[in-house]
Structure 1
Amino acid sequence: MSGSTMDAVREGLVRGLARFLAPARLPDGFAPAFATAPRGAVFDLAANAAAAEAIAHPLLGGAEGALDLLLAVGAGGLAPRALGPARLTVEDESPRDFRVATPHHLFTGNLFRGEIRQHLHGQAGPPALLHGGNLVEFTFKGRRHCLDVEDAIVAAGIEPCEGGVRLFHESAVAGRGRFSRGAPQQVARLRYAYEIRADSPAVTVAISLTPLPGVTLDRVRVTTACDAMSPGDGVDYGTLLLGEGAEARRLPSPNGENVTVQDGPVPAFAVLQDRAPSRALSLRLRPLGPAPLLSVKASGPAEGRLHWLLARYAAERLEPGATLTAGEERILLRGLSSPLAVPRGAD
């Protein structure tokens, strides 16, 4: 980096730090120092030492490297708060009260209830997203069924996968024929798996529905759902974005139950918070196949207040030995339309 460039960067750095200057009390008076916030009264000694060293000795290798890093990471106009190794920590592996932390999010919940709560770091109050509220639909021997997935969960856990962990729950799906008077019989096994990685903010959802031996299911529908999406206290979603680019449709979340907002496949869709762009939450979803997206439905108590989002994936018939498989990528962000292009481990 040339001397003139270093001088310009150092001058800009000093101007940025100037708004943090505040009088710090000393034994014999006051001295201008850098507070942790503009016009603040708390002074981090290590931060002050680092700032003073960087400004006073800009040609030190560490200082010049730090400036190079800031320029490189901020070249696109947006930068992460911190950079570090991409680590994922399973803080509690109990399926009924798990806790998993990544550089991007904190995940908690109860897998035996089919609930995965996704929080942004440093955000108090309700989760920014609740994965759950799924349904399964099928016809068995002439009788149509629509069942809550969570009511039939019989197994759940956390298992390792490449670069992270996989949260899963499995349901024993039961049904009976049109003229049956007996108790429902088990007809299929349904598995939901949520892959969480240390080096990406994306959550990858994989669903598989497999009929039991000798069972044929017709008009099969599995869902990927998000529930309780607008609990308040800083978490609310009011706008739907269906499609990508110039073809995307933007509309307010509807008032009503199970309103079809998208009929047929779409490459991607999203739900957005109606806030200033720099603070708005967004959830961006992309179907991964192989089962086709049949529709997207939304429910809410009022227009612009989304409560339940439901994507439905379909197969017209599942013979014995066949499996319906569907996948979806979900990316939860605040103040961004896509993840930052920075080294892995950025927070």
Structure 2
Amino acid sequence: MNQTLEQNFTEVIDPVGLNEVKTAAHLTWSLTALIGIPANIFVLAAIVYFRDMRTISNIYIFNLAVADLLFLCAIPISLFGQTSQDGWVWGPVMCKMYISGNAVSQFASAVFIAILSFDRYLAVCRPIQSKSFRTTQAALVLSGAAWIMVILEMTPLFLFVKLINAGGRASCMLFVGNVTILESESELNDTVLDEITQNMLDSRRFFTSYTFALSYLIPLAAVWYFYFKIIRKMCQRKRQMQTKRTGTIKRTTKVTIMGLAIVISYTHCWLPFWIVQWSIEANLFQKSKYLLFCVTHFAFALQYINSAANPFLYVFLSDSFQKNIQKLLRTAKPDKTNILKNSCEPLDNSKLLTVTTNPLCSSASDSHYSS
């Protein structure tokens, strides 16, 4: 879809202005990839490496980080596709993998945010009733079922992804129709062109509606319903929480706030994208292609920023993430103090006749003998 839009834009927009916007957008995308990919990897490593991080909520956060990582890893392919003069150059197999991978990450993000919100609802509003089935084993089973559902949701997109060569430019897009007619220049009369154009518009409208419903509208409707219940419950027991600030209540509140921050970030970062998509369907930008080009690239940038920002929300709003990420960083970084200490220890070798003294240890040695 990006490449099709860009091809139309270049016909009506000043190339200088187009290039400036494109360069700024591509720099933003690259920066989010450079920051977001290692940040999500650190989150995954912390949950796997530290046993105390394997909580129910963190199991869902682990899956959300996998979805974000998958989404960010597609940025280099998107950048290359937009800068290439020939359009899509990776072939039909990679075309299907690219669109399917994006769909999986998009659906998975929405699903696991919804599951995390439901888990928070159970922890806050139904703590006693849900105690028997809110277990790590149940969370793992639910996560597996969620991935199966995501793959099923992605299947229609996988089936109708096509690499179309038309007008000397290859495009990877969702298209329901006969591709051979589209690629045959000899048969492209006005009637066929009108039919193809209408087919492309219908295909786009269907898949926009499909992905909007399954990755935004339905999940977020459920999410905000759960958080409405959670916020109302927390307000009702506000006095109790002020007089009885137990460790369990504090932890539950912090995890709930972190989940709410994730939901707010996802809602606001994906909202511009869907506004742009439905504005295109309604032809609201027909008289201002330059504005459409700008807001489209801005909307895509916000999607990537959301996936890159999530790890920082985990760290800033969770004490356990802060503590264990710091441990992970110390584990990966050599301890200079231990290296220096080991270099100052005498060698246990009776055959060694010549003692070589480390000049950095002279003060330590002097203080030892002066005592």
TM-score, normalization: structure 1? 0.22
More helix as a share of residues: 2
TM-score, normalization: structure 2? 0.21
More strand as a share of residues: 1
